[in-house]
Chains A and B, each alone.
Chain A
Amino acid sequence: MTTTATPLDVATVRADFPILGRTVREGKRLVYLDSGATSQRPRQVLDAERAFLETANAAVHRGAHQLAEEATDAYEGARQKIADFVGVQYGEIVFTKNATEGVNLVAYAMGNASTSGPEAERFRIGPGDEIVVTEMEHHANLVPWQQLAARTGATLRWFGVTDEGRLDLSNLDELVNAKTKVVAFTHQSNVLGTVNPVRTLADAARAVGALTVLDACQSVPHGPVDFKALGVDFAVFSGHKMLGPSGIGVLYGRRELLETLPPFLTGGSMIEMVHMAKSTFAPPPARFEAGVPMTSQAVALGAAVDYLNAIGMDRIAAHEHVLTEAALRGLTEIPGVRIVGPPDVVDRGGAVSFVVDGIHAHDAGQVLDSLGVAVRVGHHCAWPLHRRMDAAATVRASFYLYNTLDEVTALVDAVREAQKFFGVR
């Protein structure tokens, strides 16, 4: 990974993203501040996907022809790049449709453990067992656990969130206990920007023999992440939030766990031997990739990783840090604006959510949109968190490597404009 002190050259980066050159709403320059929802893709990623489709497209792991061989190499090559990117081994990376599917895969596989062989013993979960999540989870890392609890009779518990938007770990020892089977939590909140102390939680979970599942959707795209160093058992992230295509996500699972985890989806490509009455399953990662996988998407995600590596994740993180600091400062200076999340940049990433007194988030977002500023409004798939933070809905600006300080200024100016429009200032 490139680690260099020189700041990122945003103008050069932007030139790689054709979409950033367009205008919206009657000629307004597009100010794209919604990368937390989905990021834009550079030409290099688009070209890689097209090149694959034009030269090597075939169903991977099937067929004896040259194209099938090349397609398989490209697909598995992407797996290797992604494994290196997050500090894990090749066989520990499973391709999924998105992060949501990754969480469901683990939750359903654990549910399936009760009807699997003795090797799956450690994944079994039932009445008396506890699943621990946090109040700041995206629905993707909450609802699958609610459902697993409902199917198995296990109990769902959660860490609270402080007024400032940090995880409340005051009852860590009580929440993570001998009954805990899983601790599932986000690395970085998609609403608050809060970066959670992963090691502390992973250590606590390991001490009681519980599995950890990390939602790395908002961390892997934005800075250096090493799952081994973090000490988690499973982790998920989505390609479309890191300059890659939609339709491809990643599940990391520690090798020894993947080896005994029962399958979730079953069918072709994931079997070892099939008879009419029963089957045995392939070793991981194939066991978790039933059917013909998303191939060009995986290849393009590999290209996205190349692109990010060439720039350097440290530099991207440093760049976003500057933008986040400027946004927090600019927004806090506006009377009537409340930041929902930590007010400073300590352990905080580039998602800045806020409410404007007297203006509903939807209405504020509409004014911003009319000025070309694309943000997300609503509860951002974190409804319980919004309830906790006493906000029905928030406006969220989220930054990435291609955003500029000028765009932060455009955001701040647009918020003032919204106040003028609705006559609250």
Chain B
Amino acid sequence: MQLQQMYQEIILDHYKNPHGRGLRDPFDAESHQINPTCGDEVTLRVSLDGETVRDVSYDGQGCSISQASTSVMTDLVVGKPLGEAFKKMDAFVELMQGRGQVEPDEDVLEDGIAFAGVAQYPARVKCALLGWMAFKDAVARSEGAKA
């Protein structure tokens, strides 16, 4: 059934037991993102240590895809230099916008490769990217605040 391809065990696990969930202090910047078509939302904070992502904390409500994707993202970016975190983001965005034609690299995306099936459903791509957009925006805000 196509459904299992989309809802991989990894996704359902992250949905039921999200990693790094909850808003924490201190933080450098916060972003609130919504998906206006379905009302899903996420509030996300980044805490940076120079050029390294010290922590990402978040809260929100939404479908399994948006919540699991945000959980996977925290695993991918926390502790990483910003440059590497953004490389992972680019790889994830490419995967999601690839309509199922992009072969994901597990070394880069780890659990994120489980979302390959979601890319076949254009309506759900926005869900999968919600947390990442919040991360990108929060980092931009923290840089704006410094400048």
Cα distance A378–B65 when bound, in Å?
Answer: 14
What residue in chain A is nearest B1 (Cβ atoms)?
Answer: A370
Partner of B38, one of A370, A379, A421, A422: A379
Determine if B63 and A363 form an interchain contact, defined as CB atoms under 8 angstroms apart: yes
Within 8 A of B (CB), among A350-384: 360-363, 366-367, 370, 377-379, 383
Is B147 in the interface zone, CB < 8 Å from A? no
Determine if B2 and A378 form an interchain contact, defined as CB atoms under 8 angstroms apart: no
Partner of A26, one of B2, B7, B37: B2
Determine if B3 and A360 form an interchain contact, defined as CB atoms under 8 angstroms apart: no
A: interface residue count bin: 10 to 19
Is A392 in the interface zone, CB < 8 Å from B? yes
Is B6 in the interface zone, CB < 8 Å from A? yes
- Given that A25-B2, A26-B2, A366-B3 are contacting pairs, would A377 and B121 also be in contact in the complex, using a CB cutoff of 8 Å? no
A412 → chain B closest CB, angstroms: 18
Determine if A362 and B3 form an interchain contact, defined as CB atoms under 8 angstroms apart: no
Instruction: Please name 4 further chain A to chain B contacts, defined as beta carbons within 8 Å, in addition to the given A25-B2, A392-B39, A421-B7, sorted by A numbering.
Output: A362-B65, A366-B3, A378-B37, A422-B64
A38 → chain B closest CB, angstroms: 15
Cα distance A367–B61 when bound, in Å?
Answer: 19
Determine if A366 and B38 form an interchain contact, defined as CB atoms under 8 angstroms apart: no
What are 5 A-B contacts defined by CB distance under 8 Å? A25-B2, A363-B63, A366-B124, A378-B38, A393-B39
Q: Which residues of A contact B (CB under 8 A)?
A: 25-26, 360-363, 366-367, 370, 377-379, 383, 386, 392-393, 421-422
Determine if A363 and B39 form an interchain contact, defined as CB atoms under 8 angstroms apart: no
Cα distance A25–B2 when bound, in Å?
Answer: 8
Determine if B2 and A362 form an interchain contact, defined as CB atoms under 8 angstroms apart: no
Q: Chain A residues with Cβ under 8 A from B94's Cβ?
A: none
Cα distance A173–B43 when bound, in Å?
Answer: 41
> Which has the most chain A C-beta neighbours within 10 Å: B7, B39, B40?
B39
Cα distance A378–B62 when bound, in Å?
Answer: 10
Cα distance A361–B63 when bound, in Å?
Answer: 7
Is B116 in the interface zone, CB < 8 Å from A? no
Is B127 in the interface zone, CB < 8 Å from A? yes
Q: Chain B residues with Cβ under 8 A from A25's Cβ?
A: 2
Determine if A360 and B63 form an interchain contact, defined as CB atoms under 8 angstroms apart: yes
Cα distance A360–B60 when bound, in Å?
Answer: 13
Q: Chain A residues with Cβ under 8 A from B38's Cβ?
A: 361-362, 377-379, 393
Q: Chain A residues with Cβ under 8 A from B2's Cβ?
A: 25-26, 370
Within 8 A of A (CB), among B27-43: 37-40
Determine if A378 and B39 form an interchain contact, defined as CB atoms under 8 angstroms apart: yes
Determine if A367 and B3 form an interchain contact, defined as CB atoms under 8 angstroms apart: yes
3 A-B pairs with least C-beta separation:
A362-B63, A378-B38, A360-B63
What residue in chain B is nearest A417 (Cβ atoms)?
Answer: B3
Render B8-50 as a binary contact track against A, CB cut-off 8 A, 1 for contact. Answer: 0000100000000000000000000000011110000000000
Partner of A360, one of B6, B12, B37, B64: B64
Q: Chain B residues with Cβ under 8 A from A360's Cβ?
A: 62-64
Render B103-133 as a binary contact track against A, CB cut-off 8 A, 1 for contact. Answer: 0000000000000000001001001000000
Determine if A383 and B39 form an interchain contact, defined as CB atoms under 8 angstroms apart: yes
Determine if B127 and A362 form an interchain contact, defined as CB atoms under 8 angstroms apart: yes
Q: Chain A residues with Cβ under 8 A from B3's Cβ?
A: 366-367, 370, 421
Q: Chain B residues with Cβ under 8 A from A378's Cβ?
A: 37-39
Cα distance A115–B98 when bound, in Å?
Answer: 52
What residue in chain B is nearest A379 (Cβ atoms)?
Answer: B39
Q: Chain A residues with Cβ under 8 A from B63's Cβ?
A: 360-363
- Given that A377-B38, A378-B38, A378-B39 are contacting pairs, would A363 and B64 also be in contact in the complex, using a CB cutoff of 8 Å? yes
Cα distance A343–B7 when bound, in Å?
Answer: 32
Determine if A392 and B124 form an interchain contact, defined as CB atoms under 8 angstroms apart: no
Cα distance A421–B7 when bound, in Å?
Answer: 10
Q: Chain B residues with Cβ under 8 A from A392's Cβ?
A: 39-40, 61-62
